[in-house]
Homo-oligomer: A and B are copies of this chain.
Amino acid sequence: MELLKEKILHDGIVKKGNVLKVDSFLNHCIDVKLYEEIGKEFKRLYNDCEVTKILTIEASGIGIACVTAQFFNYAPVVFAKKSKTSNIGDDFYTSEVASFTHGNTNNIIVSKSYINRNDKVLIIDDFLANGAALEGLIDIINQAGATVVGAGIVIEKGFQPGGKLLREKGVRIESLAVIKSMNDETGEIVFAN
């Protein structure tokens, strides 16, 4: 998606430790017009998939998912919550997600009321790097017996293994910008084709 790539080149900041800071437009301060273009692009890509639910994870995914839902005939948006306790009762699907950034493990939870076996679920998230969050969301959809339509990712770090791993498992992943490499000394960002 050209507009997004231009925005990343113009406003993204490469930080040490493979961090790409895009908080001036994507995940702290939000350009909602850009979100609309992102939503339209996800709709173009998943147009014929009869999506019935959009699943994301707090916090940065929520706004993107809500605006995207406007292009998917207002499919309900469900967001997984992060929970410190694994003991959350029988009303929730839960999956363990390792955070490479924070070096710890979180449980993500989704109420059983909001995904059912007839659902065709599109996953939306801002970043894909090691794929841990995405794997957790897929695990939850599988627990519900629902269908994973695919994932719509805004920025994929192509030099980290998540995308490759999950595509090899047969998951459809559409990333609007795939970063091939970035350099925190020069600030250079190179996109994959």
Contact = CB atoms under 8 A, between A and B. Distances in A.
Contacts of A63: 62-63, 65-66, 77
Contacts of A28: 78-79, 81, 110-111, 114
B114 A69 contact: no
A76 to B, nearest CB: 5
Interface stretch (A31-39, A161-169, A171-179): A31-39
Say whether chain A's binding surface is mostly helix, strand, loop, or mixed. Answer: mixed
Nearest to A28: B111
Contacts of A65: 30, 63
Number of copies: 2
B30 A76 contact: yes
A60 B58 CA distance: 8
A149 B33 CA distance: 23
Nearest to A76: B29
A78 B29 contact: yes
7 contacts: A28-B81, A31-B76, A32-B74, A33-B74, A62-B66, A63-B66, A66-B67
